């Protein structure tokens, strides 16, 4: 984490930078009114007067301000007036999923499945509210020290009913769905594909699809995912894990899980065989 000179933005005191993305930097801060820790996403300085990026930032603001779910970071407030465009959400005391994978290499199957269930519950809520996340990647999944899983970064979120990003290659390399890089429209099944990618990576320590921006290379990788890399000493677990990942990672949406709740149901069935009924217990 990079220390920065302490300063204020609005009523919030900035402590230090915790991450950065294409649209802005995220800082840990404190709400001077409540004393609570917060996360402050500040639009990159070079975009503060750029109408295109202001539009993207405003869309994220509108999306996150309307969401309220236990597996989605809680919105607090925002400012949309340059040169101080920022969004404030709850601060998650924990780690992004990519850091956990980097540290542990592989995450135990029951823990990985439990994390996936919590992600899918957040995704199901989004889809029921006609919203597609569109950028589900391991840095955008946060795990608190208490085992709570939260989705964050809605900069690319779009409406179910609009053909957003068609013919555009958006998202994060290594976490594209086929719809991210082809002429197809983004849809709920696109988010489910990305959950499949995350589950595969948690189980194997490797990406299922190459992290490239070259369309031909990515498409070839998508059609040649090696599910044999998903292994377990227990053959029943191994078979169940492969089956779930295969269905989530079908290239054609026709054969993929169409709804998050269907994937949740299959994961629950596997967890219950091992008497795990509360996902938070497995994660924590």
Report whether 157 contacts 130 (CB < 8 A): no
Q: Is 83 helix (H, G, I), strand (E, B) or coil?
A: coil
Helices (H), 45-187: 51-65, 97-104, 109-128, 178-181
The residues, ordered by sequence, that sit 6+ positions from 167 with a Cβ below 8 Å of its Cβ are 183
Vertex 276 angle, CA 274 and 277, to 5°: 135
Q: Choose the catalytic residue: 15, 118, 135, 191.
A: 135
124 is catalytic: no
Strands (E), the chain: 2-9, 12-20, 24-31, 37-43, 75-81, 84-90, 94-96, 131-132, 141-144, 149-151, 158-159
User: What angle in degrees, to the nearest 10, is found between the helix axes of 188-204 and 97-104?
Assistant: 20
Q: How remote is the C-alpha of 185 from its chain's centroid? A: 19
Farthest-apart Cα atoms in the chain, separation = 57
Alpha-carbon gap, residue 268 to 131, rounded angstroms: 24
Burial label, 169 (beta-carbon count in 10 A; 0-12, 13-18, 19+): middle
Catalytic residues: 135
């Amino acid at each position: 984490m990079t220390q920065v000179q302490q300063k204020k933005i609005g009523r919030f005191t900035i402590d230090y930078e915790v991450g950065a993305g294409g649209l802005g930097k995220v800082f840990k801060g404190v709400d001077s009114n409540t004393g609570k820790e917060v996360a402050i996403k500040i639009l990159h300085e070079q975009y503060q007067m750029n109408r295109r990026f202001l539009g993207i930032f405003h869309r994220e603001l509108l999306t996150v301000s309307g969401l309220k779910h236990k597996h989605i970071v809680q919105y607090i407030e925002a400012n949309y007036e340059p040169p101080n465009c920022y969004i404030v959400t709850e601060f998650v005391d924990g780690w992004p999923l990519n850091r956990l994978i980097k540290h542990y290499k592989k995450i135990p199957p029951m823990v990985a499945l439990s994390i996936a269930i919590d992600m899918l519950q957040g995704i199901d809520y989004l889809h029921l509210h006609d919203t597609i996340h569109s950028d589900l990647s391991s840095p955008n999944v946060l795990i608190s020290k208490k085992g709570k899983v939260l989705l964050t970064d809605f900069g690319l979120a779009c409406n179910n009913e609009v053909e957003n990003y068609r013919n555009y290659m958006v998202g994060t390399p290594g976490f594209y769905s086929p719809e991210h890089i082809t002429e197809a429209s983004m849809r709920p099944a696109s988010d489910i594909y990305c959950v499949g990618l995350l589950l595969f990576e948690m189980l194997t320590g490797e990406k299922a699809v190459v992290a490239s921006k070259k369309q031909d290379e990515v498409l070839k990788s998508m059609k040649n995912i090696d599910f044999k890399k998903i292994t377990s000493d227990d053959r029943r677990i191994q078979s169940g894990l492969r089956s779930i990942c295969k269905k989530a990672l079908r290239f054609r949406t026709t054969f993929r899980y169409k709804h998050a709740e269907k994937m949740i149901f299959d994961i629950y069935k596997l967890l219950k065989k091992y008497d795990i009924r509360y996902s938070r217990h497995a994660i924590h």
